[in-house]
Amino acid sequence: MIKLSLYDSTCQIAQEIAEKIQERNRYQRNGESTAKVNVTIRSSLQNLKEKIDHLKDLLLRAISTRQITQLEGDRRQNLVDDLLTRQRQLQASYKNEGTEPDVIRSSLMTGGVKRGVTNPWLLEESEETRGLGFDDIRQQQRRIIQEQDAGLDALSSIISRQKQMGQEIGNELDEQNEIIDDLANLVENTDDKLRNQTRHVKMVDKKSTSCGMLVVIVLLLIAIAVVAVWPTE
């Protein structure tokens, strides 16, 4: 968790550096020694850099562990970028002795950190993580990840069962399709046999009709012959 004093103290250090640089420049104009104040400025600049690096590290952890939203992360990143810009300007002002650029004047006019203003690093802090240290937050995140993994495992099991059911249904459909194909072949074969039998019956019927006519003709010829040879009185 990013402490309230860290951001405030970083801004305060930047304010103090700006004041020291102005003091150093005043000493130079008056012909006084600046060795002591230069040592103080160098030390403060190093301290400022370390605190900004710490803020960057805390912000990265807060974003990676999802303690804050992406929108809040972008807002805090802008604040860190502003501090980095301010650090570079102060560093340039320190090296460029005898000048008082706008960064120093603006720092002195704003008075550093405004009192009574809520620290922007603590906005949108969730109730779950408020008051927790890094170890507690990591444990909480690990627990959340474990719960998510358990949920994913359960979902994976359900999907596997659904996949297995789908495969079984597909196999059953394949078997039904094979049965339907066999039935279609059987019906086609039966239809062919039926047509063949029908043609055979028609042929037999034609033959039967021809035989009957021959029998009639033969009988008529016999009758005629009998009549012809029958003696008349």
CA distance 99 to 21: 9
CA distance 58 to 83: 15
Candidates 54, 30, 27; CA nearest to 40 is: 27
Per-residue confidence (pLDDT) for residue 207, from 0 to 100: 65
Per-residue confidence (pLDDT) for residue 2, from 0 to 100: 44
The interaxial angle of helices 70-95 and 4-30, nearest 10 deg, is: 20
Per-residue confidence (pLDDT) for residue 50, from 0 to 100: 92
113 DSSP 8-state letter = S
For 115, phi then psi, to 5°, come to: -75, 145
Candidates 89, 97, 120; CA nearest to 27 is: 97
53 DSSP 8-state letter = H
Per-residue confidence (pLDDT) for residue 195, from 0 to 100: 82
Question: Residue 86: CB partners within 8 Å, gap ≥ 6?
Answer: 14, 103, 107
Helix (H) or strand (E) holding 131, with range, is: none
Question: Residue 99: CB partners within 8 Å, gap ≥ 6?
Answer: 25, 93
Average pLDDT for runs of 10 along the chain of length 233 = 67 90 89 90 92 88 83 85 90 71 47 43 51 64 80 85 88 88 83 80 69 78 76 60
The two structure tokens encoding residue 141: 């995140």
Per-residue confidence (pLDDT) for residue 112, from 0 to 100: 44
